[in-house]
Structure 1
């Protein structure tokens, strides 16, 4: 018997019914475990945004992967942490004279951000080891999970690499490194969500759906990643604090001063006006692409789950555009900015969902295609 969303074995006796049922039960556990990790990554993105917006990211000047879980416990330890902070340019040029209570506020944001990262690591590693030991992980899935684990470790190093850029010659972190740190977090989210989504028992896509929609769906996912990287540059340069009007920017549709830096390429990464402008333009492109993908999906497919994925893309992108406009014209209030950043992950999830539906579920066999 062929199960919905599961490729039939090449011969009736290749996978016994009892073994097939066990694999399907195991997939449910693994799928929801991965969804849980994705939810923690979403929370991490939001907390990271709050850490940035409250200017808390440089409050802890050392990287202690193990010992750093324990915060200062005595007044002397708090004074020691504050003294370390007093040595960096951010304190000396911006926060000179900061009281201990003010320092504690920014310290707790950064500490919470780092501890949440460790919690995500534990939430991924411990269940993986347990499922592996119990024989619940299919052979083809094991290397994919190890890749996810390696990406998580890399993210820790990238996070510290980002922080070090603001400890010596700058009063904040490099926008290049911040955008890289954010983008890697989103890559990890998308990677794990892709695996979890394709462990879901859904109907197989038709050849027509794959032929007509996969290219546009892949393009849309790529645009989402580009836009999120650009959002990281906006955050790194505090570009959202400037030109707080919409739809015009600096009183014009195409403002002057977009290409004033030399060499030319620097404008796209370091010119505050250009960085915000390209984030706006990419948003418009995304809106058009989302509408096109939604209409194409409804025209080509009659499957409810694929149509729902297309509708989610159009609705979520439109809503995210509203959040972005409000964040801009209200001059980046913390609550709205965090909604905008967090909902970007939901948009990413919708893009991955659509493409995963077109790829189809992983077949139950000794090997599964990528």
Structure 2
């Protein structure tokens, strides 16, 4: 059964402690007809401040594989074990998806999470379907499958077991070091050419990283994850995504050098994307943490998107356009070649896909 929360408040009590949270506000979903706001009635003045805690609900999903036809994505199907993400990255382009649940893309996205415990069961059922045609499944392209709640929910691990049993190819994107727990599954899959991983490192500055992505492991710890995956034989690329113009883009060469030093085999980059609710949340965060750079950052962003905060057109939404975007692309190309990261990861194998026999299945004659 799926449980909804009550409507999100426009703002929380200002005395609530938001330690480890990036969003500065909690505006209603854009689909809500009514708005609520906090009003101090004067009665709680002497009470100790309350810390904003993470809440978890469960959803019994009806389907788990999502298909897309986007020409600028290298995959046509994906899985999302969780809705919302405790990592709390302020720039996360998945934040607007919380609005479809009647929740805020702001603090709700970071604190009101939804697990999908029947995902492995649904995945096995959908892979068994006679009409299913194998192609790599992407996981982590929306919310992180290795966010902190995975340590207890284990939805991602159980999905990996299904993919392993079917010999199904999978591409994983994460910032979470919890992926190391699953090396007992990933390493044998990598030996068969069935898995590759992208680890996102957005800045080498721990202070900047902590403000942008408050519950993500430190940059140094993520680089260690790249090393451990690589040492286990898992193909891994460093993802310098997103690059934030005027804030983190000056680190591009250093990020690639650090990734190569940790054992990454390839690299990729995406420019900051600010769709829908993400733009006001990001700008509010900029003013709170980097007011001296806010105008410059947003000036570069708008210059790359035709004067707008975001251009959703295919072919431009990931990289932007214009001189600044071209300069970043050129810098990436040069630095990637210098560090041996200018190569594609090996194609994942689809020829090994074999649905395992189920109780009651007719056995093969030969």
TM class by smaller structure: under 0.3
Q: Which has the higher strand share?
A: 2
Larger Rg: 1
User: When the two structures are superposed, what TM-score results if normalisation uses the length of structure 1?
Assistant: 0.25
Q: Which has the higher contact order (CA 8 A, sep 6+)?
A: 1
Q: Which has the higher helix share?
A: 1
